[in-house]
Amino acid sequence: MKKIGFSGTLDPITNGHMWVIGEARSIAQEVVVFLSENSTKQPRFSAEERRAIVLESCAERQWDNVQVVIVKSDYTARVARKHGIDYLIRGIRTTADFDYENLIQQTNVEVIGGAKTLFVMPPRDLGSVSSSFVKALEGPVGWNWTMKKFVPGPAYRSWILDWLHKEWLSLWPAGDDAAAANAQAWFARMTGADAYGGAERHYHNLDHLVHGLAEIRAWSANTRPDKRDIDIVRAAFWFHDAVYAHGAADGVSNEEASARLWLGSGLAADAAMADEVAQLIRATDHFQGGAVSHPLKDIMLGVDLAILGQDEEVYGHYARGIRAEYGHFPDEHYNSQRGQVLAHLRSKAEQRQLYVDRWFADQYNELAIVNMTRELAMLGS
């Protein structure tokens, strides 16, 4: 078969969709993905953005025989025929899917004279994966780690960047055009290659940023602090690892450099907020954190250390990410240094001093001990 088509809204494209496209590639020389621009739906991304995400996802797998066509105000099956395509391919997960798709297939062929449909059944591990399923994951602590398992890399990155952008804009009050432009410029910088979006960032990256902001959401929803306090912690978390490099420059720690970056951003609503956020950033510094005194310090540290108390799979991602960031160290040296850090943190957890804030302690202290004990055993410590 020369050409075959695959259609959908693909908001976002999932690994299930990618599997169907892969099946299509196995039976045709060329695959045309028809992206629906449906006025009755409100997708997260525009049709052009979705097209770019699909093409990036295919390029990531080195699939060079897939093209994407946006369908506007027409039947996909009829557009397919206009492109010389006689068959569409669809994935069938359940009997309900079959009943629905069969009805569409009959309409396509008998009513509008469009392309026919071939049905394929995805493997069991993709049987429940759909765009609706993936969208429903967003929100709770750890949602990003879960979503990551079900969508291709470009779709995941686009989704979390969109989520982060909304989080970022909600933090800064609407101001004049200059203030809005400054906020947009700083968002690009914070999520770009020189900060959390850097390729060398294997843990202190966009995932870490999403996770921490979700932790702040959970803390605030359950403890109902003052909105100003929430915003101070949010701003501090955004900036606390903005600078992350091995080896302090001119004797200035990463945390201090991040605090100075924040102070020069011009984003603070007032001088008091600027100073308080800088204090919380410095509270995460191993060297000067002990001298910081602020009523939100324990919250900030709780958010930053919450990763230690996640489930085994997420903790595993964290541990591997940290190792990758210190990939320039040989195993013997890394294992020794990492073991000392973990032993210290575990001791604090055993004394109920790791999470000083009660809410974070109740959520994460016990599992943090389990996780660190497991990693210490793997390190031979």
The catalytically annotated residue of 7, 36, 57, 131 is 131
How far, in Å, CA of 75 to CA of 312, rounded? 47
- Residue 239: count of CB within 10 angstroms of its CB: 25
The catalytically annotated residue of 17, 234, 338, 346 is 17
Q: What are phi and psi of 65, to 5 degrees?
A: -115, 30
131 catalytic? Reply is yes
Is 90 among the annotated ligand-binding positions? yes
Is 91 among the annotated ligand-binding positions? yes
Is 9 among the annotated ligand-binding positions? yes
How far, in Å, CA of 380 to CA of 331, rounded? 11
116 catalytic? Reply is no
Q: Report how far Cα 200 is from the mean position of its chain's Cα atoms.
A: 17
The catalytically annotated residue of 93, 116, 323, 348 is 93
The catalytically annotated residue of 2, 41, 124, 224 is 41
Place of tokens 């310090």: 297
Is 189 among the annotated ligand-binding positions? no
Which residue blocks in 195-270 are alpha helix, DSSP H?
A: 206-223, 227-240, 254-263
227 catalytic? Reply is no
DSSP letters, 322-377, are HHHHTTTS-HHHHHHHHHHHHHHHHHHHHTT-S--SHHHHHHHHHHHHHHHHHHHH
Is 131 among the annotated ligand-binding positions? yes
Is 197 among the annotated ligand-binding positions? no
3-state secondary structure of 90: strand
51 catalytic? Reply is no
Structure tokens at 239: 């900036």
Is 367 among the annotated ligand-binding positions? no
Which residue in 93, 187, 104 sits closest to 133, CA to CA? Answer: 93
Is 17 among the annotated ligand-binding positions? yes
Is 101 among the annotated ligand-binding positions? yes
Is 132 among the annotated ligand-binding positions? yes
Cis peptide before 12 (omega within 30 of 0): yes
Binding residues: 9-10, 17, 41, 76, 90-93, 101, 126-132
Active-site residues: which are they?
A: 17, 41, 93, 131
Binding residues for ATP: 9-10, 17, 91-93, 101, 126-132
Binding residues for substrate: 9, 41, 76, 90
